[in-house]
Amino acid sequence: MAKYLLRRFVGMVVVIILVLTIAFVLVRFAPGDPAALMLGPDATPQEAADLRTRLGLDEPIIVQYATFVGNALKGDLGESLFFNRPVTSILADRAEPTIFLALMSLFFALFIATPIGIYAAYKRGSLLDQSSVTSAMLAASIPSFLTGLVFQRVLATNLGWFPTAGYGGPDADIWVRLGHLILPSITLGITNSALILRFTRASMLDILGEDYVRTARAKGMPETRVILRHALKNAGIPIITVVGLTFALLVSGAVVTERVFNLPGMGNLVVNAVLRRDYPVIQGTLIIVASIYVLINLATDLLYFFIDKRVKY
């Protein structure tokens, strides 16, 4: 186990260094000038050039890269060109809405998908099974921005059930902030529930055909116990994999949903940073997202071990 963890840790470091380098190279070679953007339309080319010098953007690329890597290794991801604040502090501020949104949408997705997936597998071929598969296809096919726009117009603007956008403003307490996440969470939850539902159903179908399930039934074990205790536990690994991947995807920033609902999360931050060419923020976000991905993948793999004792590392 220790050997396995060490191997995974070395792998993680390699992935993060690769991401760090690719992020740096990509953003520097993409066209666009943050200085020209910051100064506005009537600033002269000379003024933009002067600002680039002040921001240190005209130093040789290799010098900028060395500074960036050196600082990143010390945990310093640089300072935002626009906010004059450390990237780590900005990312810390933006983590809350993104993490809550990820958790809440995952909750909605599991709440919808797991029971339907289990029941659809149990009643294979029934009307409910067929309609759930069709609905899952439909939910997966509709992009979340469209669902978001429709929900926003109908449930927020027309019916006034939810706030339209934002994260509550200056005096919002945690409940108001969470309230602002309900509609975006449902939007994301519906989209993500499709994949979880299909995995749950497929995994349960496999397990329900196993000999030990038939044995359990033959022994007269109650059906609920057969399904929940024996079948679901063994069907869990693929479900956990897809839940883990979905969560990683959500934590790395539900870009479109955050944009539609104007949530100040990491997805919106990275979009704004790209539009503004705020290089340190783009690089910092990519590094953090990559780290989250590898950590969640590791956590998912470790979870297998706890769920299924036959798994050995």
Partner 1 sequence: MSVRKTLFALSSALMLSVSPVLAAGTVNVAIIGEPDTFDPMVSTKDVVSIVTQHFVETLYTFDESWAVVPLLAADMPEISDDGLTYKIPLREGVTFHDGSSMDSADAAASLQRWLEVSSRGKSVADKVAGIEASGPNEVTITMKEPYAPLLSLLAFSNSAAVVYPEEIIAPEIETIVGTGPYKIKAHEPDQYTQLVRFDGYTQPTGAAERKQVPDEIRLIPVPDGNTRAEGLLSGQYDYADGLSTETYDRLEASDAAEPVLLKPFGWPVFAVNHKKGIMTDLNIRKAVQAALPFDDMLYAGFGDEKFFKTDGALYPEGWTWHNNAGVELYNQNDQAKAAEYLKAAGYDGSPLRILTSHQYEFHYQMAEVAKAGLEAAGMKVQLDVVDWATLAQNRNNPDLWDIYITHSPFLPEPALISSLFSTAREGWDNPTKNEILNRFTSESDPEKRKAIFGELQKIVLEDVGFIKVGDFNALQGKAKGLTGVNPSPWPAFWNAQVSK
Binding site for partner 1 (CB under 8 A): 31-34, 36-45, 47-48, 82-85, 90, 93, 149, 152-153, 156-157, 160-171, 175-176, 178-180, 182, 259-262, 264, 268-269, 272, 275-277
If the CB atoms of residues 53 and 134 are measured against partner 1, the closer one turns out to be 53
Instruction: Tell the smallest beta-carbon distance from residue 173 to partner 1 (Å).
Output: 9
Q: Which residues contact 54 (CB under 8 A, 6 or more apart)?
A: none
146/150 Cα distance (integer angstroms): 6
If the CB atoms of residues 108 and 247 are measured against partner 1, the closer one turns out to be 108
Contact 104, 254 (CB under 8 A): no
Instruction: Tell the smallest beta-carbon distance from residue 125 to partner 1 (Å).
Output: 29
Q: Indicate the DSSP class of residue 313.
A: -
The radius of gyration of the chain's CA atoms, rounded to the nearest angstrom, is 24
Contact 236, 204 (CB under 8 A): no
If the CB atoms of residues 158 and 224 are measured against partner 1, the closer one turns out to be 158
Contact 47, 24 (CB under 8 A): no
Q: Which residues contact 173 (CB under 8 A, 6 or more apart)?
A: none
If the CB atoms of residues 175 and 306 are measured against partner 1, the closer one turns out to be 175
Instruction: Tell the smallest beta-carbon distance from residue 21 to partner 1 (Å).
Output: 22
Instruction: Tell the smallest beta-carbon distance from residue 81 to partner 1 (Å).
Output: 9
If the CB atoms of residues 43 and 303 are measured against partner 1, the closer one turns out to be 43
Contact 136, 198 (CB under 8 A): yes
Contact 86, 77 (CB under 8 A): yes
Instruction: Tell the smallest beta-carbon distance from residue 116 to partner 1 (Å).
Output: 18
